[in-house]
Amino acid sequence: MPVGHDQSLHQDGLRKPWATIGVFLLPSLTIYAAFTAYPAMRTIWNSFHRVLPRSDEPVGLANYAELLRDDIFWRSVRNTITWACTSPLIEVSVALLLALALYARVPGARFFRVAWFTPVLMSYVVVGILWLWIYNFDWGPVNVALRAVGLASWAKPWLGDPKTALPALIFVTSWMWVGFNMVVLLAALHSLPREVLEAAELDNCGWGGKLVFVILPLIRATLLNLIVLSFIGKMKIFDLVWITTKGNPLWATETVSTYVYKRAFEWTTFDLGYPSTIAALWFVIVLAAVLALTWLFRLRQKLEY
């Protein structure tokens, strides 16, 4: 048997159509390189420089050193992390209750599902303005309702008080995202194996028992995914704060995103190096946090099986 001939046939069959692959991938890779990879690297380069409109000047680690001493930055980190740690828990737990209610076959479940999902379709700009009004001191529904039930002393400018401003905004994001989480959880509930639930019922397992011992373990992967997703979203939050409070009062609602924006485009320092440093450090923190969360969840899953 002519081995050489056989081999060449074989090679021919496996020859990769590199030209075709190139044509298909080139547009995406070009856009990725030009508008994602290059800017990201340039930001990191910026972070070691003083970047003025007409000149760059290397400053080594000076920006990073300054960042460590920047109280406003640490305040914004604290606010953002508070947001990113509380929101997912509120959103996912309320969403789970609502999903269970719809799972119990109430009439009109389809309508509820579509209606609850609406807030997440609106831009943060629209949502922010609506909630500025809802929290309005004089005529916002929240204060109007408090006065109507005789709790006038509780009425306050919710977004103007350093103590309540951040919780009030966290509440808004929860309002917005509960419906989204609910829909995902409902889909997970509907895909549960019917036999398992029926077996639990045969074993005389009550609703509470069924929830804790059967349903929750089965949808755990979905729950954890939603938590990570919500966490990532809150680590990036900008629009809502920018429309409602711009980080006020007294940096009570300053997030890392708004602070970067202020330092880059609002403060008249004209230096893009320092805000790039914040962005670079924050990028590392977000990446590390997401990796840690997924690793942690994976680990627990392995331990229990």
- Tell which positions 87-116 bind other proteins, by CB under 8 A: 98, 101-102, 104, 106-108, 112-116
Residues in binding contact with other proteins, number by CB under 8 A: 89
25-56 per-residue burial string, b: 16 or more CB within 10 A, e: under 16: eeeeeeeeeeeeeeeeeebeebbbbbbeeeee
Which DSSP string do the residues of 100-158 spell out, in sequence order?
A: HHHHT--TTHHHHHHHHHGGGGS-HHHHHHHHHHHT-TTT-HHHHHHHHTT-GGG---T
Residues 13-42 that bind other proteins (CB under 8 A): 16-18, 20-21, 23-25, 27-29, 31-32, 34-36, 38-40, 42
Q: Considering the rule CB under 8 A, would residue 135 count as an interface residue with other proteins? A: no
Region binding other proteins by CB under 8 A among candidate stretches 60-68, 154-162, 179-187, 207-215:
179-187
Residues 221-240 that bind other proteins (CB under 8 A): 222, 225-226, 229, 232, 235-236, 238-239
Distance, in Å, from the CA atom of 44 to the CA atom of 66, rounded to the nearest integer, reads: 16
Largest CA distance in the chain: 99
Residues 183-202 that bind other proteins (CB under 8 A): 183-184, 187-188
Amino acid at 65: A
Q: Considering the rule CB under 8 A, would residue 173 count as an interface residue with other proteins? A: no
Which DSSP string do the residues of 158-192 spell out, in sequence order?
A: TTTSTTTHHHHHHHHHHHHHHHHHHHHHHHHHHTS
Residues 268-297 that bind other proteins (CB under 8 A): 272, 275-276, 278-280, 282-283, 286-287, 290
Distance, in Å, from the CA atom of 218 to the CA atom of 134, rounded to the nearest integer, reads: 39
Q: State the minimum distance, in angstroms, from the CB of residue 267 to other proteins.
A: 13
Q: State the minimum distance, in angstroms, from the CB of residue 130 to other proteins.
A: 5
Q: Which x/- pattern, by CB under 8 A, does the window 39-58 give for other proteins? A: xx-xx--x----x-------
Nearest to other proteins of 251, 263 (CB atom): 263
